[in-house]
Amino acid sequence: MQIIRNKMKIKDLIRCMLLGAAGIASKIIITPLVHMITGPLWIPGGVIAGGFYMFWLVFARAHIKNKYAGSMTAFFQALMVLVSGSVASHGIISIITYTLPGIFVDLSFAFSKKISKEGIYIIAGILSNLIGFLGSNILFFNLPIIPLFTSAIIAMFSGSLGGLLALRIENKMNGELEDE
């Protein structure tokens, strides 16, 4: 933690906290709505909803432009869920289940010189949601192979949409998109 703190400015840490809080707030709103659709289909709601709240990790990494921003945003989300006991808290395991997707977002951006801008956002969204889903599956769901495979594909699709949303908003904020 000391290494990361030395590499990030206080204002970047505050931005990570704010974006993390926005992610948790969106999760609390989006997840029950998605569960109304996925519950009857026996699909874990997080595979679809995850793309929308993993968006915040991808956006944090892209917008803050610090190589640890995705991880720190995810870590702050884990702390908020742990301390508040909010929806989708996995107890102390939340530190792992919430932080791992952020680490994978940061790892995705580490290869950004070799992949197109769109590609990196999509890969970051896919990996973050897939890792979040697989971590939850290993710890809680233990889905059989066919539902696991189906859910993983849905998680990848949803994650790619979250990555594209992050790219669109980041481009809009940087003035790279024309007003429609």
Mean pLDDT value across residues 100-120: 91
Name the burial class of residue 24, with classes exposed (0-12), middle (13-18) and buried (19+) by CB atoms within 10 angstroms of its CB: buried
Cβ atoms within 10 Å of 136's Cβ, excluding its own: 19
Binning pLDDT at 50, 70 and 90, where does residue 93 land?
confident
User: What pLDDT was estimated at residue 87?
Assistant: 60
- Tell me the C-alpha to C-alpha distance, in Å, between residue 173 and each of 116, 166, 176, 179: 19, 10, 8, 11
pLDDT digits (tens, 9 = 90+) for 116-152: 889 999 999 999 999 999 988 888 778 888 888 988 9
Amino acid at 116: S
Q: What is the pLDDT of residue 56?
A: 95
| Token output for 76 | 């702050």
> What is the distance between the alpha carbons of residues 83 and 78, in angstroms, rounded to a whole number?
8
Q: Which residues pair with 90 in a beta bridge?
A: 92
Is 57 within 8 Å of 15 (Cβ atoms)? no
- Residue indicated by tokens 């970051």: 124
Average pLDDT estimate for 152-177:
90
Q: What is the distance between the alpha carbons of residues 155 and 180, in angstroms, rounded to a whole number?
A: 30
Compare 110 and 139 and report the one with higher pLDDT. 110
The whole-model pTM stands at: 0.88
Q: Sorting pLDDT into bands at 50, 70 and 90, what band is 175?
A: confident
Q: What is the pLDDT of residue 38?
A: 82
Instruction: Say whether pLDDT at 95 is over 80.
Output: yes
CB 9 within 8 A of CB 69: no
| Whole-angstrom distance, CA of residue 12 vs CA of residue 65 | 9
Highest CATH level, class, for 2-173 = mainly alpha
Sign of the CA dihedral with 88 first, then 94, 97, and 101 last = positive
At 2-41, the pLDDT tens digits run: 555 557 888 999 999 999 999 988 888 888 888 888 878 7
Answer for the pair 120, 111: CB distance below 8 angstroms, yes or no.
Answer: yes
Kindly report, residue by residue over 38-76, the tens digit of the pLDDT.
878 777 788 888 888 899 999 999 999 899 999 999 999
pLDDT of residue 2: 54
